[in-house]
């Protein structure tokens, strides 16, 4: 279905704009993704927006036209509007020429098929949306199955997290749960829980990782709680040669994930 | 020298606040760093602020007191103020209880001692201050000598970059130059230039890296220009198993840097 919106005061503009806030995303079960690149990744991963808005004054890219046709065929809305209105929706001065409204896509932990991937990323009380999105992007690159968000993590559907994920939000399963649910589920099947810690001398290249490995990433400022570390099968540390005692959380996740990936690849 | 500022309209408050903008940082040759952790890292790396502001209503941490004494002894200013004024200076609602004004610390490329470290990071047209700071932090962790910013990179002294560096801004040499200056300097001595590229099939774990290795990181959206890739001694790619074709720039830098570090460590 195609239509047009030209007025800033249109209630739909206001509604879409409200999705920049977590409480509205939660109430509606919807979130925003912007830009051709991310929306094309989404489509390739099988996710089409419920509503697609585009700037009518810009000649659409062939991929954008194909995306609009697909949304149209799926019976969802394709809405012509202006670059200014898109800016208002996305809260960016220099907005993308496409904005999509997607149904949020959380997976219940019991629905995860742990055997479907060799690596799973698990983040605990992660606070920074850029880190969360970057971890999703890394997960996609290493062939992880998804990201399990334990305890009070930042919302994975925030505009910043979606942007930083560069579309990986649509290729990775996303779970939100408490620690007890996670550990109960984990121990009901196979899989090793690996955490990084300052309390161990074991270098991260020392263990032989096995599939599936669950990589546990702690909060940016505090790392992992002691009892969560105690619940890990393996604790390792990434060597630090400088003055600082820690890496950025998304960087630590990537260094660990590539080590596991490389080991599993070498052993075939 | 110790004094007190209680008024928001004090010209010094305005001046410090103005350092959040690049043009003022450039004109004054000064920048802001906030918080006990980063300012203590700075001190350990031998950098003291020209001016230190603290919230007088908060009992100072012993490390903060030690820092103030050191600033005092160095003949620089220690200024008591309020949490509200610190918030105004730093532009954060929930400001740190310490703000320091530091002299910027660029190193001319010709002053770099390339033999002083095994790894050097080189970023080209890097746009995101968070990525820049994170790359500095990773550089510190792998024992890199510094970060060479080629062409039009974001300002390494922006508040966001300083924050993301977690103090590594003070432990890493920072160079700003054009590509021609960099490549001229590089080729006047030994050292291999290694770039990541989508145009090669060589896995990043394949080459034997030698010290010093200069790791070239391209712009977030465009990667490296073709002629910069052509100037590299080695081009490698980090394998991507998912749908996406690239990693976050700071993540790619970290995965590469740890591979080089690990190889050099193994070979002793």
Q: What band does A178 get if pLDDT is binned at 50, 70 and 90?
A: very high
Q: Note whether B130 and B220 are within 8 A (CB).
A: no
Beta bridge partners of B203: B237
**A204 pLDDT above the threshold of 80:** yes
Domain that holds residue A163: 109-266
Tally Cβ neighbours within 10 Å of residue B5.
Answer: 17
A241 min Cα distance to partner chain B (Å): 5
Q: Given B77, B103, B129, which residue is the final one in a domain?
A: B103
- Report chain A's C-alpha Rg in angstroms: 20
Considering only the beta carbons, identify the residue of A138, A247, A262 that sits closest to B138. Answer: A247
Higher pLDDT: A216 or A265? It is: A216
For residue B147, which phi and psi values (nearest 5 degrees)? -120, 125
CATH assignment of the domain containing B258:
3.40.1280.10
**B58 pLDDT above the threshold of 80:** yes
What is residue A43's predicted lDDT score, i.e. its pLDDT?
95
A85 and A196 housed in the same domain? no
**B203 pLDDT above the threshold of 90:** yes
Q: Note whether A19 and A28 are within 8 A (CB).
A: yes
**B94 pLDDT above the threshold of 80:** no
Nearest-angstrom CA–CA distance, B84 and B97: 10
The angle formed by the CA atoms of residues B166, B135 and A244, to the nearest 5 degrees, is: 35
Substitution target in A243, A250, A257, A264 with the highest count of B β-carbons within 10 Å is A243
What is residue B89's predicted lDDT score, i.e. its pLDDT?
87
Task: Return the SS3 of A256.
Answer: helix
Q: What band does B199 get if pLDDT is binned at 50, 70 and 90?
A: confident
A115 and A88 housed in the same domain? no
Considering only the beta carbons, identify the residue of B139, B242, B265 that sits closest to A140. Answer: B242
Per-residue pLDDT tens digits for A62-100: 999 999 999 999 999 999 999 999 998 888 776 678 999
pLDDT averaged over every residue in chain A: 94
Q: Note whether A207 and A213 are within 8 A (CB).
A: no
CB contact under 8 A, A251 and B246: no
Considering only the beta carbons, identify the residue of A41, A130, A242 that sits closest to B171. Answer: A242
**Three-class secondary structure assignment of B114-153:** HHHCCEEEEEECCCCHHHHHHHHHHHHHHCCCEEEEECCC
What is residue B246's predicted lDDT score, i.e. its pLDDT?
86
Task: Return the SS3 of A153.
Answer: coil
Q: Given B103, B123, B158, which residue is the final one in a domain?
A: B103
> What separation in angstroms does the CA of B56 have from each of B12, B43, B86?
17, 21, 10
**A171 pLDDT above the threshold of 80:** yes
ipTM of the complex: 0.93
**B93 pLDDT above the threshold of 80:** no
A257 and A188 housed in the same domain? yes
Q: What band does B264 get if pLDDT is binned at 50, 70 and 90?
A: very high
Nearest-angstrom CA–CA distance, B145 and A246: 18
CATH assignment of the domain containing A99:
3.30.1330.30
Closest CA to A3 of A13, A14, A59, A33: A13
Residue in B closest to A243 by C-alpha: B140
Nearest-angstrom CA–CA distance, B151 and B171: 22
What is residue B254's predicted lDDT score, i.e. its pLDDT?
98
B64 and B146 housed in the same domain? no
List the beta strands (DSSP E) in A207-251: 213-217, 234-236
User: Before B212, cis peptide (omega within 30)?
Assistant: yes
Give how many domains chain A has, as a whole number.
2
pLDDT averaged over every residue in chain B: 94
What is residue A245's predicted lDDT score, i.e. its pLDDT?
77
Nearest-angstrom CA–CA distance, B104 and B25: 8
B48 and B139 housed in the same domain? no
A130 and A66 housed in the same domain? no
What is residue A92's predicted lDDT score, i.e. its pLDDT?
77
B96 and B113 housed in the same domain? no
First CA to last CA distance, chain B? 48
A168 and A186 housed in the same domain? yes
Q: What band does A246 get if pLDDT is binned at 50, 70 and 90?
A: confident
B119 and B238 housed in the same domain? yes
B171 and B73 housed in the same domain? no
Q: Given A86, A103, A120, which residue is the final one in a domain?
A: A103
Element at B85 (helix H, strand E): helix B83-90
Q: What band does B70 get if pLDDT is binned at 50, 70 and 90?
A: very high
**B267 pLDDT above the threshold of 90:** no
């Amino acid at each position: 279905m195609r239509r047009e919106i030209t007025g800033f005061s249109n209630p739909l503009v206001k509604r879409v704009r409200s999705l920049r806030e977590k409480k509205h995303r939660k109430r509606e079960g919807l979130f925003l993704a912007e830009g051709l690149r991310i929306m094309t990744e989404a489509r390739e991963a099988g996710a089409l927006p419920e509503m697609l808005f585009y700037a009518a004054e810009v000649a659409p890219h062939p991929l954008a036209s194909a995306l609009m046709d697909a949304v149209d065929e799926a019976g969802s809305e394709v809405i012509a509007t202006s670059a200014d209105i898109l800016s208002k929706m996305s809260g960016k001065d220099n907005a993308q020429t496409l904005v999509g409204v997607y149904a949020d896509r959380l997976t219940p932990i019991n629905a995860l098929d742990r055997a479907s991937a060799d690596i799973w990323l698990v983040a605990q009380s992660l606070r920074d949306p850029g880190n969360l999105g970057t971890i999703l992007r890394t997960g996609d690159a290493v062939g992880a199955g998804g990201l399990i968000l334990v305890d009070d993590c930042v919302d994975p559907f925030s505009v910043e997290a979606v942007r930083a994920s560069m579309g990986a939000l649509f290729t990775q399963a996303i779970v939100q749960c408490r620690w007890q649910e996670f550990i109960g589920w984990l121990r009901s099947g196979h899989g090793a829980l690996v955490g990084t810690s300052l309390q161990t001398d074991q270098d991260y290249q020392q263990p032989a990782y096995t599939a599936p490995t669950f990589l546990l990433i702690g909060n940016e400022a505090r790392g992992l709680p002691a009892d969560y570390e105690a619940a890990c099968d393996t604790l390792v540390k990434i060597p630090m040669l400088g003055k600082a005692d820690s890496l950025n959380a998304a960087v630590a996740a990537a260094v660990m994930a590539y080590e596991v990936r490389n080991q599993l690849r070498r052993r075939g």
